[in-house]
Structure 1
């Protein structure tokens, strides 16, 4: 595990953007699972502004780690956010954008998307392997759309699962823990003081941490990077410098 701690959300986004672009440049075809959230939104803006013309977007294949079961025109859609902040500003082939169809029946869509991943990605011991999975973490320790109250979904036999938000009951389609941990690289983007308590628990594996899905992220490759701002890292037992 590698911890990268920066001053604020903007600095996290700038450094992650550079990291992402270097990964793409080093690769042939590059398969990435995107995350929703406020920090990825800044990342997408930066990628569009700084790298629209310098990255070969033809070789980047975009997927999502999770999606809310809403139409692609809904403001809650991770896909819509990515279109507005990235895809509308770069030249990327439409066939490289593989969205989760949030407007479809969730159970059928989870099966379809799992099948798509099996077709598109190399597999390791039967599990589709992304080059990079980008994750956020909620105040409750959830990641992708696997929440503590449904932590059994982490080890589901299905590569994609239907999850339920614990408060709203909103359905979501999410990749499972096996797919996350099969990735060549996993990167957490976590910012803000509200995340500090769970960052400490998850990173330091304190007693009881296993009830939080984010603590189960442990890619077999060993390549796990946390991009944190100082507020999110404030409770860690180490010098933030």
Structure 2
């Protein structure tokens, strides 16, 4: 595991974008699971402005690690946010964008998306393998849409699961822990002081750390990188 700490959100976005560009450079095809949230939004802006005409977007296939069960026009849609901040500014083929149909019936959509991953991705011991999974972490220690109160979904048999937000009750479709930990590479993008407490518990494995889904991220490849700003890392020893 590698921990990279930068001065602020903007610097995290710039450094991650450079890292991403390097990662895809020599690949003939690259399959990435995107994350929603405020930090990816800045990352997408940086990717579009700094690498929009420098990368061969035709070889990158985009998926989502999780999606809210809302239409693609809804303000809460991770897909909509990615369109606004990245896809509308770059030349990515429509056929390379594999969105979760948030407007569909959740259980059926989770099955369809899992099936799509099995068809499109190489598999390791039957599990679909992404080249890169980008994750965020919530203030409650959740990642993708696996929340502490439903931590058992991490080991679900199905590669995509239907999760429920603990406060709003909103349904979400999420990849499970097996898919995350089978990826060739996993990166966390974590910024802001509100994350600092859980960052410390998870990274220093202090009491109760295993109750947080983000602590279960441990790719078999050994390639796990945390990109953080100073605020998120402030409590680390």
TM-score (norm: length of structure 2): 0.99
* Cα drift, residue 140 of structure 1: 0.2
Give 3-state SS (helix, strand or coil) of 2:202's partner.
Answer: helix
CA distance in 1, matches of 2:205, 2:108: 36
CA distance in 2, matches of 1:183, 1:26: 18
The residue that corresponds to 1:109 in the other structure is 109
Distance 1:26 1:204, change over 3 A: farther
Give 3-state SS (helix, strand or coil) of 1:89's partner.
Answer: coil
The residue that corresponds to 1:199 in the other structure is 199
The residue that corresponds to 2:235 in the other structure is 235
Cα shift readout 1:74-114 (whole Å, capped 9, x = no counterpart): 00000000000000000011000000000000000000000
The residue that corresponds to 2:156 in the other structure is 156
CA distance in 1, matches of 2:7, 2:61: 31
CA distance in 2, matches of 1:207, 1:167: 25
Give 3-state SS (helix, strand or coil) of 2:28's partner.
Answer: coil
Give 3-state SS (helix, strand or coil) of 1:26's partner.
Answer: coil
Segments of 4+ moved more than 3 angstroms: none
Number of aligned residue pairs: give it.
237
* Cα drift, residue 27 of structure 1: 1.6
* Cα drift, residue 205 of structure 1: 1.2
Deviates further, 147-156 or 21-30: 21-30
CA distance in 1, matches of 2:56, 2:96: 12
TM-score (norm: length of structure 1): 0.98
CA distance in 1, matches of 2:233, 2:219: 21
CA distance in 2, matches of 1:204, 1:100: 34
The residue that corresponds to 1:171 in the other structure is 171
Q: What is the alpha-carbon root mean square deviation over aligned residues?
A: 0.4
Matches within 5 A, 1:117-128: 117-128=117-128
**1:133 matches 2:133:** yes
Q: For structure 1, list consecutive stretches of 5 or more residues without a partner in the other structure.
A: none
